Amino acid sequence: MKLRTFLIILCSLLLLPEVVSADVIFPLTFITLPFLPFILLIEIVVFAAYYDFILKSRGVELSFKDLLLGIFAANLVSSAIGLIFPAHEDVAILFFSAYLTSIFVEFPVYMAFFKIEKMELFKISFLTNLASYSAIFAFLLLMR
């Protein structure tokens, strides 16, 4: 519980100096910032669906408030980490590296927030980021 409190405080402090976005690579921040509510909504829907269809039947209990808080914190941390990553000229490499980094950055945050098996949390991190990055990438392709 102490780790969770620490992460909440850390995430709150991260909000003070910077504008938050749900990506890992800093240049994507400018592209994705207007879509932050949409990105969070996608990740909430995917996580909630995974919970309803898979985890609930296994006896895992999770409140919607905890789900929102965990997803928000995970995206804050991945955004903060993303501030130190260099950009890449190739958009495909940029998105793929941001996607992979998001998975591995958000996974430990999920572990701090949720009492769910590690493999399940990794799958959730994989799926939530797959959905949000796919939506951003598809939107950018349509806007070309």
Which tens digits make up the pLDDT trace of 1-29? Answer: 566 666 665 555 555 444 444 444 445 55
Instruction: Using alpha carbons, select from 112, 143, 133 the residue that is nearest to residue 21.
Output: 133
Q: What crossing angle do the helices spanning 91-113 and 118-142 adopt, rounded to 10°?
A: 150
Q: Which of 31, 115, 30, 23 is nearest to 66 (CA)?
A: 115
- pTM for this structure? 0.76
If pLDDT is split at 50, 70 and 90, which confidence band does 33 have? low
pLDDT value of position 129: 95
Q: Which residue has the higher pLDDT, 92 or 48?
A: 48
Which amino acid makes up residue 99? Answer: Y
Rg (CA), the chain: 15
pLDDT digits (tens, 9 = 90+) for 69-120: 999 999 888 877 766 666 666 767 777 888 888 999 999 999 999 999 999 9
Q: How far apart are CA 92 and CA 113, in angstroms?
A: 31
Q: In terms of pLDDT, which residue wins out, 25 or 67?
A: 67
Output the pLDDT for position 89.
Answer: 66
CA 76-82-83 angle, 5° bins:
100
Quote the pLDDT of residue 15.
Answer: 52
- Residue in the block written with tokens 């408030």: 65
Asked whether residue 63 carries a pLDDT value surpassing 70, the answer given is: yes
